Amino acid sequence: MNAFIFPGQGAQFPGMGLNMYEKSRQAQELFEKANDILGFNITDIMFQGSADDLKETKVTQPAIFLHSVILGKMMGEGFKPDMVAGHSLGEFSALVSNGALSFEDGLSLVSQRAIAMQKACELIPGTMAAVIRLEDAVVEQICEATEGIVVPANYNCPGQLVISGEIDAINRACEALKEAGARRALVLPVGGAFHSPLMEPAREELAAAIENTVFSNPTCPIYQNVTTTAVTNADEIKQNLIAQLTNPVKWTQSVQQMVADGATLFTEVGPGKVLQGLVKKIEPTAEAISAEVP
């Protein structure tokens, strides 16, 4: 069985999407439609902008979404997933790919999500840190014992867990994690505490937008970050999507569940190869490849 997986923030690169725009009339139409929906020419930034230009949250999230979704549409008859999943932001790309969301609604929600998250970051300063080579259970215990808000945020693969929370609490937790034997506990250059309680203002804002958007039952199951199990009910998908902003991305558990449910091939649809690397660390027997531009 083929699982299609969709990357999240951090996969962007200068020039992303230009080859698709030049090759396909369908891609051109979708990129132009995106410029109209967003109210600015994201194509100019994607195709000619610098790495710094692409780091701006209101640009990064729609850019990665567009690259993934348009690549999926260009695959035509070759786009036949048995199941899908997306890492954080990638969950929106996955939901357009399996028919739960329209292209227009998906892009609109991603744009609103990016702006809401940016506002939450400015409201309550926070950060994230990568913890390398320590058991998940130990990281969880240290987060719980640390004063202030600090929680597991991204279960990326065994031995790689990202924590999120208040700046002082993250710094305290990093010291404790190193003492507990972590090879590294490194504060990341991010703008806020994503997938933590500090994102509550963004969750509330996005919840209103999601509730007002029409979702359909998908063509194949999605393994959502919050539940890690196969979901096909539109109302359930909506609730999990709302919960995602303040809950951890359980990528390790999602991949394990997809393998348990029969996935043998993972196809990464979108920029970069980050998810393929994580899949190989989670399940070394699985095959992981990139979707190619036709």
Active site residues: 88, 195
Query: Please, which residues have CB within 8 angstroms of residue 105's CB and are 6 or more apart in sequence?
Result: 213, 214
d(CA 133, CA 185): 9
Task: Record the tokens describing residue 191, joined without a space.
Answer: 């703008």
d(CA 248, CA 193): 11
Burial 115-153 (b: 16+ CB within 10 A, else e): bbbbebbeebebbbbbbeebebebbbebbeebeebbbbb
User: Cβ(64)–Cβ(12) under 8 Å?
Assistant: yes
Name the DSSP letter for residue 126.
-
d(CA 141, CA 143): 5
In the numeric block, the tokens 């991305």 are attached to: 249
Question: To which H or E segment does residue 186 belong?
Answer: strand 184-187
